[in-house]
Amino acid sequence: MTGVRSTSSEGYARITVELSQETRFEVRRLVDNLGKGASPRIYVDIFGARLALVSKRPTEVDEKLVRQVRIGQYSAEVVRVVLDLQSGTAHNAFMVADPYRLIIDVAGERTAERSDNSRSRANKEAAARRPQPTNKLGASAPISNGLRKVVLDPGHGGKDPGASGPGGIAEKDIVLSIAKKLAVKLKTEMGTDVVLTRKDDRFVALEDRTALANREDADLFISLHVNASPNIDARGIETYYLDNTTDEAAIRLAARENATSRKNISDLQFILSDMMQNMKLEDSITLAHRLQTSLVSGMSKFMGEVKDLGVKKALFHVLVGARMPSILVEMFFITNQTESRVMVDASYQEAMVNALFEGIQKYAQSNLMAKTL
């Protein structure tokens, strides 16, 4: 065990334990002493591990949920990580690779009424601060999207190039270019605040991307990727939401995007928690369908028939723990010569941005209508 770090926001905390290799762990909760005035605790035993930290002092989380994180060499081959909680909470833990990290999520009970009230106040305040978009005649155009903030996640980056195609084009460069253009369009035409998980060619850990979206209290989290396949004729667009699946193709894709093994994806299936994501599952499915339909329709206008691979579910680490509707989009196959040429062409990238924008806009409008019924 080489390090511990944390990130937190209202009603949510994520603790990352850095490890030198994959190992087995067990999570337990202590509530026995609550009647005596002691606070509840979560502890994680990491087997076959030794401490390799310069400092073993408790990590202050500065959160209403988690007071501090303590670590110790519980036995010769077991490191124990203890989370001292401020109150009773739900929790979840899972392992990610490259490098290996143990992620511990802690969530408080934030009622829908509190969340909706705070979101409504934030929307009104943000709308009052924003300049109103204008149409071509210079008249004010109404904002009717209901989206306060969106986090866009350009996949991969830095030492992780993602998939590669003919001529050495890299997934990380394509998705960053599209994300930047989409961010400008969302800000300009919908008045929506946009945060990128990365703004340049840098590596960002999967768990830090979701944690950023939670910290920003975003309304949507959209992870942008380009697909790849050993079959150079594979083509099309597909959109994913987070859920368990037995589909082998989805499992293999998630393993590639997670930078982990097929076995680790299977291991994740039984620990996927419903404490955060399931309350937004239906919204995530709706968002996925809106974007998938818009992407297939929009790009078909520019390049002929686009293969619709549909909306699917998979265990993507980058979506685990998101407290808002969240999806992952696979935009064409970089390994397909025709589609790879499309993805590096500026005019086709602009068409992709317009299609993504239209899908987000339609989701926002339908969501706003549902809330006013």
Q: Report the alpha-carbon distance of residue 121 to residue 127 in Å, rounded.
A: 10
pLDDT of residue 280: 81
What percentage of the chain reaches a pLDDT higher than 90? 51
The mean predicted confidence, pLDDT, of the chain is 83
The residue written with tokens 């209508």 in the block is 369
The answer to whether the beta carbons of residues 273 and 103 sit under 8 Å apart is no
Cα separation values, 262 from 96, 269, 315, 360, Å:
12, 11, 11, 32
pLDDT at 218 over 70: yes
Q: Report the alpha-carbon distance of residue 326 to residue 221 in Å, rounded.
A: 5
Tell me if 3-107 shares its fold with 144-372.
Answer: no
- For 144-372, the fitting CATH number among 3.20.20.370, 3.40.50.1980, 3.40.630.40, 3.20.20.105 is 3.40.630.40
pLDDT at 110 over 70: no
Question: Which is higher by pLDDT, 331 or 119?
Answer: 331
Residue 80 pLDDT grade (very low, low, confident, very high; cuts 50, 70, 90): very high
The answer to whether the beta carbons of residues 70 and 58 sit under 8 Å apart is yes
Q: Which of 28-32, 101-105, 156-160, 332-336 has the lowest mean pLDDT?
A: 28-32
Pairing of strands 237-242, 149-154: unpaired
Residue 127 pLDDT grade (very low, low, confident, very high; cuts 50, 70, 90): very low
pLDDT at 197 over 60: yes
CATH number for the domain running over 3-107: 2.60.40.3500
Cα separation values, 68 from 108, 156, 189, 276, 350, Å:
16, 31, 43, 22, 47
Domain parsing of the chain, residue ranges: 3-107, 144-372
